Amino acid sequence: MKGIILAGGTGSRLRPITHVLNKNLLPVYNKPAIFYSIELLKSAGITDLCIVAEYKYIEDFKTIIGNGIDFDVDIEFISDSPLRKGPASAVHHAKKFVGNDSAVIIFADGIYDLNIGQAVSDFAGGSLIFVKEVEDPHRFGIVEVGQSGEVLSIEEKPKNPKSNYAQTGLAIYDNKLFGFLDKQGPAGDGEYYMTDINIEYLKIHELKAQIIDCFWQDVGTFDGLLKASNYFYNRKQ
């Protein structure tokens, strides 16, 4: 099992700080945001990781993270396209790195207090996405989940959501992922999204969801950074 950390995005909601620093390197309490993703994957026994980031930030990541020795993992850095074609395009850049393995994919600006070790151990193929109940489902990609965890439907920011379970940006995929990515076309805005890949797994009845009941916070805004920092500050008290 390989780990893919997506560290893209322009951080437009965090200006002016992100004029000079990638949002995934901003501090969440006492360490850079991306450290939480590395630690989540390491705690699940995944030690072969890659970080996909925009080329102009790669050296910043290398300076702060190094080769992974401080985390007892191996880290490869992969440059995303300067054209910023979306998260699925960024994942596609990791095809050679993953090879014939399965992969856990995590968005670095999502902060979790979660251990996925059991889910990784139990993974037997297809795709498993981690979802959480939210109060404002119209803002998210929403997943309708069956009684045994099978996904019944996915909608992106629906006006009339069928559930309150949102995709969190953490998922496990088998190697069919890259076959779907090879064939994927762009969305209406010209970008490539992982929701479309999840729909491909849904079509072949190989998409499941695991509902999580833990802390999860997007840190793409100042409010999100503060909430996540406060959570881990209070957790240590």
> Any idea what the CATH number is for the domain that residue 219 is in?
3.90.550.10
Answer yes or no: are the C-beta atoms of 192 and 86 closer than 8 Å.
yes
Q: From CA 165, how far away is CA 31, in angstroms rounded? A: 29
Average pLDDT of 184-197? 83
Instruction: For residue 58, count other CB atoms closer than 10 A to its CB.
Output: 18
Residue 28 has pLDDT above 90, yes or no: yes
How many distinct structural domains can be found in the chain? 1
CA-wise closest residue to 68 among 38, 94, 91: 38
Residue 81 domain boundaries: 2-235
Cα–Cα distances in Å, from 138 out to 26, 113, 155, 161? 28, 24, 9, 7
Residue 208 has pLDDT above 80, yes or no: yes
Cα–Cα distances in Å, from 210 out to 143, 144, 154, 168? 11, 11, 14, 11
Tokens (6 digits) for 137: 């489902």
Average pLDDT of 120-145? 92
Q: From CA 222, how far away is CA 43, in angstroms rounded? A: 28
Instruction: For residue 52, count other CB atoms closer than 10 A to its CB.
Output: 26
Q: From CA 126, how far away is CA 148, in angstroms rounded? A: 15
Answer yes or no: are the C-beta atoms of 62 and 78 closer than 8 Å.
no
Answer yes or no: are the C-beta atoms of 29 and 113 closer than 8 Å.
no
Residue type for position 106: I
Q: From CA 177, how far away is CA 2, in angstroms rounded? A: 13
Q: From CA 108, how far away is CA 24, in angstroms rounded? A: 6
Average pLDDT of 66-73? 92
Average pLDDT of 31-44? 97
Of the chain, the percentage scoring pLDDT greater than 70 comes to 98
Q: Which residue has the higher pLDDT, 146 or 9?
A: 146
If DSSP states are collapsed to H, E and C, what string results for 128-185?
EEEEEECCCHHHCEEEEECCCCEEEEEEECCCCCCCCEEEEEEEEECCHHHHHHHHCC
Answer yes or no: are the C-beta atoms of 207 and 198 closer than 8 Å.
yes
Q: From CA 153, how far away is CA 123, in angstroms rounded? A: 21
Confidence of residue 10 (pLDDT cuts 50, 70, 90): confident
